A and B are shown apart, each in its own frame.
Chain A
Amino acid sequence: MKYKQLVDTVGKSLEDEEFDQYGENMRSQFMLDPTITPVNHGSFGAVPKPVFEAYVGATRKICEFPDKEFFLNHADNYRTAVKTVSEVVNCDYENIVICENATTGMNTALRSLKWEKGDKIVISNVMYYSCKTLVDYLEYTYGVEPVRIEIELSDRAENIVAKFDKELQQPKVKVCYVDHVSSSPSVMVPVETIVPLCKKYGVISVIDGAHGVGFKPLDLSELDPDFYVSNLHKWYFTPLGCAMLYVAAKYHTMIQPFPMGYFFITEPTKEILIQKFGYLGSKQYANLLVITAAKKFRDSIGGNEKIWQYSQLLTNAAVELFTAKWGEGCIVGEPFFMFNVVPPFKVNYLLLELKEFDNGFYLRKRQYDGKVEFRMSVLIYNCLADYEKVIEFVESFRE
């Protein structure tokens, strides 16, 4: 079978003792209902119990004496969170903003830019729906013109790059929006080649890494984009709305938070993003306090490398399982911790949708050309039996 391995798993097997703690054994460490089959980590993530406890604990701590928390401790907490994230993604902490979700980060970046009528933004057909609506908003409000690239699931990296290269050369292209790992369908986009192209053509690069931090190794100093957003509540296990926005230094003065906080800063100053984004009114700030808890949890179960190795091995096994059942062609695109699978038969879509919650499922899916495409997620609390259950469940809606 030919597909790209995300991480090096040479000489390793799911049966290895080092992976015993994962799969079924890991499930009870997560907040997930033990009776469900969780194969859609990609949408809302899942939270380990110790991290949730830390979150509730942090919320309680703030309630113990809110005036003190906000007057004395909050600024340090925010700075610590930013520093922790900057280490994970390898960049200067002064370039990081913590926000609630990637959508907010993307809105903050794109709605802070000064747009003129006729400015163009390069987007693609695999862009996340909320970002598409954001582009609609920019079009409606400022007369921004989207230029849409069509990515085929069969495209190799170089085809994708060539498509971007072509459109980036158009006149008046101000921004290039690229998914790092798109949501539905799941495609891994070669951003490391596209960012330099943006630089070459003087276009602002905005990377949507909704599935970014925790999903794959990230080095933002090396990638050097203008803006990069990533959720932490998906693949990094931080609960209930936690994300990062990377802002290249030259945009620090221009970018402004939503809502506007205690400071409206229009001149360069030290730690300017921390000053601008550190306190945005009364909010739930427990998410800041548990980034470290999430990191600790990841370290305690073996660290990123091992998490990724298991996920890769299980992805391989799951792909083999689907292929054995539904044939070689059922996997669409290059499989990784999220992959697309299309059963070779007609599925009663509406009935399946009606029955899935009651049966402890939620399958991320879309219909096209009379086919149904499911997106599977793979993580350390999953085991092969989860995908067997999915096959059985989907087969029961075969028409």
Chain B
Amino acid sequence: MFGKEIREKYFTLLNPKVNPINHGSYGLTPTPVFDTFVDSMKEDLQHPDKYMSETEPKEYLEGLMTIGEVINSDYRNLALIDNATTGINVIYRSMKWEKGDKVLVTSVVYDSCEHVLEYMAQMFGIELIKLNVDIEVPEQELVDSFENVFKTQDIKLVMFDLVSSMPAFLFPYKQLLELTKKYNVISVIDGAHGVGMFPIDFLTFKPDFFTSNLHKWYYVPRPCAILYVDPKFHGSIQPFPISHVFIDYEGENTLIKKFYFLASKNYAYYNCVKSAKGFREMIGGDEKIWEYCQDLKHKVTNYLIERWDTKALSQHQPLQMVNIVLPEKLAITQEQLMKLRDLSTKSHNYFQIGVYKQYSVMRLSFQVYNEFEDYVKAVEVLEPLIAQLKSKASL
């Protein structure tokens, strides 16, 4: 029932004219989960005092427990927040920084996450060190390049992506986490693309901090994310905004007390975590979802490699995204890219194209509502659009 059938049945929020091959940027909510979202908002507005004092705290806890089970984590180490960017901001703005503290990030770090560190540099004088990451080298070489830095410099904290955004790339997080333990470095993992994409198991995954959107690959309405905090930081971490509760460490429910209510806002997402899980089970479960997306990814990727006589990056990682290196005839400048986005969105298409190393790369996403024809249609829109832009440029 995947592909067109499920799209018409359960992904009806999408404009039917739109060809959705970019799930990775904003995700897409299944309509039954969206209905839960609307119902919860209604429940709130019918008697806001009651909702905020009784329902919201209960649904927050249920949301935490649900996702705790999904990733095998003690729910008391988790917080539900808006998005991964917020998670990263909460971590850095709670940290006790000292002038000269060194923070290691990678060359594929997400812009917003780098900006908050630049801000910390401005405010507290921390030093940012950027490791150039080549996603095409063998995994061990990449791990070694991190170890070299840890060996030679006194790094306080390292942030890397679980799966980077542009280009999509799954970091060897288990090996990297071993290194952080060995060299006593605080680990922050940006899992903007994380929960819902492949199994994440906190029995074998022990970072200090991890944040993951749930509105992308787990189908919770936007915005919803989790923040994982190792117990040793429960006292020092503080939410934004500071609302009714300002405490240091107050036992094992510290995080819940700190994060469950952050002033008046839309809390209907919390009730959707359960609903999203239920939806995933109803359509066959995580394994089936992943299997379908992987098959589709390989079929599409192999087709494009042949069509364009090109290569793909990260194809053999367990991601529902792939990076296709655009051939010379489709490679475009930044300025042409903006024009392309403008033109393509008007014709109900969106192409997630960026620059990586010397390449123009297009990131494709694969979801249960996609099928092979979507990508063929997409490239048939893309090719003439780029040809048109290029011929204009050469005039």
Chain A residues packing against B (C-beta within 8 Å): 31-33, 36, 38, 40, 43-47, 52, 55-56, 59-60, 62-68, 70-72, 100-104, 106-108, 111, 114, 129-130, 133-134, 136-137, 140, 231, 233, 239-241, 256, 258-264, 266, 280-284, 287, 357, 360, 362
Per the CB 8 Å criterion, the residue count for chain B at the interface is: 65
How distant is the Cα of A241 from the Cα of B26 in the complex, in angstroms?
A: 21
Residues of the A chain whose Cβ atoms lie less than 8 Å from the Cβ of B241: 101, 103-104, 106-108, 130, 134, 258
Residues of the A chain whose Cβ atoms lie less than 8 Å from the Cβ of B101: none
Contacts A31-B45, A281-B86, A282-B213 given: A65-B223 contact, CB under 8 Å? no
Cβ of B119 and Cβ of A283 under 8 Å apart?
A: no
B222 touches which of A47, A67, A136, A284 (Cβ 8 Å) = A284
Chain B residues packing against A (C-beta within 8 Å): 13-15, 18, 22, 25-29, 34, 38, 41-42, 44-50, 52-54, 82-86, 88-90, 93, 111-112, 115-116, 118-119, 122-123, 213, 215, 221-223, 238, 240-246, 262-266, 268, 341-342, 345, 348, 350
A362 touches which of B50, B89, B93 (Cβ 8 Å) = B50
Q: How far is the CB of B74 from chain A (nearest CB, A)?
A: 25
Q: How far is the CB of B149 from chain A (nearest CB, A)?
A: 24
Cβ of A233 and Cβ of B264 under 8 Å apart?
A: yes
Residues of the B chain whose Cβ atoms lie less than 8 Å from the Cβ of A100: 263-265
Cβ of A284 and Cβ of B223 under 8 Å apart?
A: yes
A63 touches which of B29, B41, B88, B115 (Cβ 8 Å) = B29
Residues of the A chain whose Cβ atoms lie less than 8 Å from the Cβ of B88: 259
Q: List 5 A-B contacts (CB under 8 A).
A: A31-B46, A103-B262, A129-B244, A137-B246, A357-B54
Of A63, A261, A263, A283, the most chain B CB neighbours within 10 A belong to A63
Contacts A103-B241, A259-B89, A282-B215 given: A357-B34 contact, CB under 8 Å? no
Cβ of B240 and Cβ of A258 under 8 Å apart?
A: yes
Residues of the B chain whose Cβ atoms lie less than 8 Å from the Cβ of A32: 45-47
Cβ of B115 and Cβ of A264 under 8 Å apart?
A: yes
Cβ of B266 and Cβ of A240 under 8 Å apart?
A: yes
Question: Closest 8 A-B residue pairs measured CB to CB?
Answer: A241-B265, A362-B49, A44-B48, A107-B241, A103-B263, A259-B89, A67-B350, A264-B115
Contacts A40-B49, A66-B25 given: A281-B83 contact, CB under 8 Å? yes
Contacts A52-B45, A70-B26 given: A281-B82 contact, CB under 8 Å? yes
Contacts A46-B45, A259-B89 given: A63-B13 contact, CB under 8 Å? yes
How distant is the Cα of A137 from the Cα of B240 in the complex, in angstroms?
A: 11
Q: How far is the CB of B231 from chain A (nearest CB, A)?
A: 20
Residues of the B chain whose Cβ atoms lie less than 8 Å from the Cβ of A72: 342, 345
Contacts A32-B47, A130-B241, A262-B112 given: A281-B265 contact, CB under 8 Å? no
